[in-house]
Structure 1
Amino acid sequence: MTGFLPKRAMGLLALGVSLIAGSASARDLTVVAWGGSSQAAQREVYYRPFTEQTRVPLLEDSWSGGLGILRTRVQAGNPTWDVVQVESDELQLGCDEGLYERIDWAALGGRDAFMPEAVSDCGVGAVVWSVGLTYDGSRLRDAPASWADFWNTQRFPGQRTLRRGPKYTLEIALMSDGVPQSEVYRVLRTPAGVDRAFRRLDQLRPNIVWWTAGAQPGQLLASGEVVMAAAYTSRMFAARRDDRRDFRVVWNGSVYAVDHWVVLRGSQNRDNAMRFVQFATRPENQSRFPTLAMQGVTNLRAARQVDPAVATSLPTHPDNLAVAVSLDVEFWVDNIEELTQRFNAWAAR
């Protein structure tokens, strides 16, 4: 999941320091994630314990996504990154291009040990994140219950914030217009369905404040500039915990996806990279991650071991999954370029 800022600055700071004593060699194992609060949690739960237990020096970096970056590193013949956290579309496209090493699932306990969306020939699910309807309970006493309420500016006057881009936004628009969650991608795969989503956005357009970074929805809610947001749910629950904000999440119609660990093809640290992936996906390790990051985990045993007080705030809780939409990776791999062009042209009008 992108949007955890700062990214590059944090990564550069981490690059200068090995997680065990001593100077780092040029080819210490390097793990790359999204930065911010999520990577801070990974540092506590995965990076430091891995080095302490294995004595393998580990460096961390952060990035903002983009398959071209990984392609360039692999094609150069000596990628300086070893393990990278990627989104699902980057996983699928990179796997098709041969950019990643193959996963030995037997060493990880088998494919059945993980939720289906976490399983790939080239990657292992690292975290589960979601985008959902959120609002500030201290400002909005009449609680919205659906994306249809998000569009109801008479009952809920004020501005709303949506991600500036087609992904999640078009799905949300269709659900607000009465499309059942199970039918969202069937409808969105048709020209009429895409037109319908944009018509729905037209209706709300005067009340939309766009966000481009994951921190912005919380800031807009906290300032009162918007009354509702489509936001990363982990950020909302982190704000409740850390800043005592009365942010609330409506799980109905939330959209969830899985980020994956991949090992770049040609990594000189392939064996240690695979050791790290194995370590970071063990249930006893994964189960500690949600308490810090407020994101879901992919190992089924780990999900059952999460603190019950935290589990209800995760997209992987059974009650939340039951009313959510799984991001259709194949749809976005096939359509992201065309729909992004159309969205940008629409937004620029």
Structure 2
Amino acid sequence: MLKPLTLTAALLSTPAFAADTPLTVVSWGGDFAAMQDAALARPFAEATGQAVRFLDTDDPAGLVKTQVEAGNVVVDVASVGQGAAMRLCAEGDVEPLDPAALLPAADGTAAAADFMPGTLGDCFVPTDIYSTVIAYDRQALETAPRSAADFFDLDRFPGRRALGRTPQFTLELALIADGVPAAQVYELLATEAGVERALARLDGIRDQIVWWDAGAQPIQLLADREVVMAHAYNGRVYKAAEVDGLPLAILWDAQLYEVEGWVIPKGAPQPQRARDFVAYSTSAEAQLRSAAILPYGPPRLSAQALLENPGADGRTTLAPHLPTAPENMANALFVAPEFWADHETQLRERFTAWLGQD
């Protein structure tokens, strides 16, 4: 493990590393930004003397693009999803990031080899992995669901279901529930037959679907007993069950996982300090601190190997609650940003038309 003094010395080697001007980080607000502040920004400030301030928005990537196009960039670092980072990078709105400038693993493994394959980008360094999962009410169901197919089985598991009003996640779940191996989902979903198959599967439970538009809604629907199962974000389910005490559980089969991380806008006011922050906050140590507050998986393999931390409630073991736990990844699907960049417009039109059918 990197010693704090060594890390601090590396960061302070930046010429004129003064903390006169706070580093501005834009993120999503709420529990997520609070986690980033506690696990990443505050330790960075303590190690370097560099203050960090957060700006909250529901569209960090959009804010970056707006500022870059206006030539008035005030953001130094932004937290965005991998798909958004790819678009910003392709359009020249964010800086390239060199993996060689990132901190190595404790055993000296270079950062480029320590991140999960496919997570590092030309302009993007991942901070966490989160997923959309099937959550269910343990008290409302006589038996626990065991597979994604059970989400669509109204005979064995009667009751309404909550799904996001979006083709992304919903169509993938429908195909996996219909027996399509996770590795073949996007190949099939790129075809007309695949789209029809997914919508046909949804037709089977259409009358029992409650659609949600914001991440807090599926948890509230479960808490209010309006639904017995819901497609929801794993971190929200964890908090509701393990911290708030609701009788909820996660079915990890067919979890759909995504990657969040940092980008540096083109023309950022403090580009070198921004790079120092990105390096510090994507170390294995930093990712473990993050996961102990919110149960999102660390993208660094060396961090995954060290997951023996207590959970945020101080009593549960953390690892089984993370998307990256080996047993939870058994039938997982990586939500491919390249696929959605190419097909989102078409699939959204089809999905919206299907929603409007009587």
Instruction: Please identify runs of 4+ aligned residues in structure 1 that moved more than 6 A.
Output: none
Residue 102 (1) aligns with residue 96 (2): yes
Aligned counterparts of 2:241 and 2:202: Cα–Cα separation in 1: 29
Query: Conserved in 1, the CA contact under 8 Å of 2:75 and 2:268?
Result: yes
**Counterpart of 1:191 in structure 2: which amino acid?**
E
**Aligned residue in 2 for 1:270:** 271
Query: Conserved in 1, the CA contact under 8 Å of 2:61 and 2:78?
Result: no
**Aligned residue in 2 for 1:38:** 32
- Shift, 1:204, TM fit: 1.3
Residue 79 (1) aligns with residue 79 (2): no
Change (3 A) 1:68 1:42: closer
Q: Deviations over 1:120-147 (max 9, x none)?
A: 1101011100011110112223111112
**Aligned residue in 1 for 2:202:** 201
Query: Conserved in 2, the CA contact under 8 Å of 1:114 and 1:299?
Result: yes
Query: Conserved in 2, the CA contact under 8 Å of 1:311 and 1:317?
Result: yes
- Shift, 1:43, TM fit: 1.2
Residue 227 (1) aligns with residue 235 (2): no
Report the 3-state secondary structure (helix = DSSP H, G, I; strand = E; otherwise coil) of the residue aligned with 1:116.
Answer: coil
TM-score w.r.t. the length of structure 1 is: 0.89
Residue 322 (1) aligns with residue 356 (2): no
- Shift, 1:277, TM fit: 0.6
- Shift, 1:298, TM fit: 1.1
**Aligned residue in 2 for 1:13:** none
Aligned counterparts of 2:61 and 2:302: Cα–Cα separation in 1: 31
Report the 3-state secondary structure (helix = DSSP H, G, I; strand = E; otherwise coil) of the residue aligned with 1:210.
Answer: strand
**Aligned residue in 1 for 2:238:** 237
Aligned counterparts of 2:121 and 2:210: Cα–Cα separation in 1: 36
- RMSD (Å) for aligned C-alpha atoms: 1.6
Report the 3-state secondary structure (helix = DSSP H, G, I; strand = E; otherwise coil) of the residue aligned with 2:141.
Answer: coil
Query: Conserved in 2, the CA contact under 8 Å of 1:117 and 1:125?
Result: no
Change (3 A) 1:238 1:58: same
**Counterpart of 2:87 in structure 1: which amino acid?**
L
**Counterpart of 2:126 in structure 1: which amino acid?**
G
**Counterpart of 1:83 in structure 2: which amino acid?**
V
Q: How many residues align?
A: 325
Query: Conserved in 2, the CA contact under 8 Å of 1:66 and 1:90?
Result: no
Matches within 5 A, 1:140-289: 140-289=141-290
Q: Deviations over 1:248-277 (max 9, x none)?
A: 111111111101210111101101111111
Query: Conserved in 2, the CA contact under 8 Å of 1:117 and 1:258?
Result: no
**Aligned residue in 1 for 2:348:** 340
Query: Conserved in 2, the CA contact under 8 Å of 1:115 and 1:300?
Result: yes
**Aligned residue in 2 for 1:17:** none
Report the 3-state secondary structure (helix = DSSP H, G, I; strand = E; otherwise coil) of the residue aligned with 1:276.
Answer: helix
Greater alpha carbon shift after TM alignment, 78-87 vs 67-76: 67-76
Q: Deviations over 1:21-53 (max 9, x none)?
A: xxx98x631111122112111111111111122
Q: Deviations over 1:46-87 (max 9, x none)?
A: 111111221112110122227443222112223111111111
Report the 3-state secondary structure (helix = DSSP H, G, I; strand = E; otherwise coil) of the residue aligned with 2:204.
Answer: helix
Listed as ranges, the gaps of 5+ residues in structure 2 are 1-18, 105-110, 310-316
**Aligned residue in 2 for 1:303:** 304
Q: Deviations over 1:203-250 (max 9, x none)?
A: 211000011111111111111100101111111111122211221111
Change (3 A) 1:281 1:67: closer
Report the 3-state secondary structure (helix = DSSP H, G, I; strand = E; otherwise coil) of the residue aligned with 1:118.
Answer: coil
